[in-house]
């Protein structure tokens, strides 16, 4: 496990991950705010139906593009939250943390575009097979 990274460094890695998104995705990230929190609360984990021992690295909250209608407007920004301690706890290098940030951000951006968990799992399995 990597010693706790300072917040500024973690924020820098998140910024790099955002800048690394394909331009066509960045252009479509409208009305989205990205937050960094230390870790999810026990209440949040319970409300999401997560079991003890499961880890939440990120969370998308909002109205996916696929569910927006012509009446979509004047709504608060969607939220993508990345959980710094959750991401750091399972990685032992700065590079591994950066890669997990990138993958978590892509996963949550996928939800913003309306991609469900099953399809995201398929996409991520493809990432994993290419990286081994």
CATH of the domain at 42: 3.30.2010.20
CB 84 within 8 A of CB 38: yes
Domain-embedded: residue 56: yes
Q: What percent of the chain has pLDDT over 90?
A: 45
Does residue 1 belong to any structural domain of this protein? no
Count other C-beta atoms under 10 Å from residue 33's C-beta.
13
CA distances for 114 relative to 30, 55, 68, 108, 119, angstroms: 14, 22, 10, 10, 10
Please check the confidence at residue 10 and state whether its pLDDT lies above 60.
yes
Residue 57 has pLDDT above 90, yes or no: yes
Q: Is residue 91 part of a domain?
A: yes
Structural domain boundaries, residue 126: 7-131
Domain-located, residue 96: yes
* Domain membership flag for residue 64: yes
Q: What is the mean pLDDT of residues 88-93?
A: 88
| 40: in domain | yes
Q: How many domains does the chain have?
A: 1
Cβ atoms of 63 and 16 within 8 Å: the answer is no
Give the H or E element holding residue 131.
helix 117-131
How far, CA to CA in Å, does 4 sit from each of 24, 43, 53? 33, 24, 20
pTM: 0.84
């Amino acid at each position: 496990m990597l010693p706790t990274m300072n917040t500024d460094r973690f924020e820098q890695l998140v910024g790099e991950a955002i800048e690394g998104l394909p331009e066509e995705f960045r252009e479509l990230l409208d009305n989205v705010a990205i937050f960094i929190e230390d870790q999810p609360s026990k209440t949040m984990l319970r409300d999401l139906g997560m079991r003890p021992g499961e880890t939440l690295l990120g969370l998308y909250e909002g109205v996916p593009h696929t569910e927006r209608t012509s009446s979509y407007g004047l709504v608060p920004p969607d939220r993508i939250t990345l959980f710094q301690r959750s991401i750091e706890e399972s990685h032992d290098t700065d590079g591994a943390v950066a890669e997990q940030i990138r993958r978590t951000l892509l996963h949550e951006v996928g939800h913003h575009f309306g991609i469900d968990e099953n399809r995201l799992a398929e996409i991520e399995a493809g990432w994993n097979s290419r990286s081994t």
